[in-house]
Amino acid sequence: MKIFNFIVFLSISFFGTPKTITGKENWTTSDIERFNKQLEEVKEKIKTNPYYNTKIAFFIDMKIKSGKNRFFVYDLENDKILDEGLVAHGCGSETGIAGNLKFSNEANSNATSLGSCAIGKSYKGIFGKAYRLSGLDETNSNVLKRAVVLHSYSAVPEQEQDYYISRSHGCPMVNEAFFKRLEKIIDGSKSSILLNIYY
């Protein structure tokens, strides 16, 4: 799905005035409020560490079905979405009810963990290049120990679809073409980019 150029007015903001973002036309008021809450939490974390990127952050909205774009590259300075793509969730997050997910920070859960992560150094793994993640919240403090990383996988489609995509063992797993775009951003950043996963 192409990124649309239109304005969504956020109803809640840190400064008490509406913010405008360029983003998705079908966001509900609830979607906007949830995103805005995560956005302000990320901005607060960035203020605490001079080594975090102040211009770009990544967000994953796990309320969105896996067949739809739910990984967003966000411009923190201009309040707009720069890119978006599909991302898998962990197979351990399935509840047996379509669209309902559960989350875990436990080892061997194969589940997605919620919270913010700092994207670390890359390495070569079984899926090729991958980026280590360091959890910054109680809900994802074990992601580094669990080897939950950002990586690509050929089975993840590039385009949106009406059915669910393949699942991971807890990693945010994206399409190869989307990963290449993320890779340019991550490798081009002198500071650590934050990845926020929320529901």
Q: What is the pLDDT of residues 124-176, one digit of tens each?
A: 999 999 999 999 999 999 999 999 999 999 999 999 999 999 999 999 999 99
The HSE-up count of residue 191 (CA atoms within 13 Å, CB side) is 11
Long-range contacts of 151-157 (CB under 8 A, 24+ apart): 151/125, 151/127, 151/179, 152/127, 152/128, 152/176, 152/178, 152/179, 152/180, 153/88, 153/127, 156/86, 156/87, 156/88, 157/86
The mean per-residue pLDDT over the stretch 98-111 comes to: 95
Please report which confidence band the pLDDT of residue 95 belongs to, taking 50, 70 and 90 as the band edges.
very high
pLDDT over 70 percentage in the chain = 87
- Which of 142, 147, 148 has its CA nearest to residue 106? 142
Strands (E) located in the chain: 7-10, 19-22, 52-61, 71-75, 80-85, 87-88, 115-125, 128-135, 149-152, 173-174, 192-198
Q: What is the pLDDT of residues 69-93, one digit of tens each?
A: 999 999 999 999 999 999 999 999 9
- Which of 53, 43, 3, 1 has its CA nearest to residue 19? 43
Q: What is the pLDDT of residues 8-58, one digit of tens each?
A: 333 333 333 334 456 667 789 999 999 999 999 999 999 999 999 999 999
Output the pLDDT for position 24. 67
Q: Residue 182 corresponds to which tokens in the numbers above?
A: 């993320």
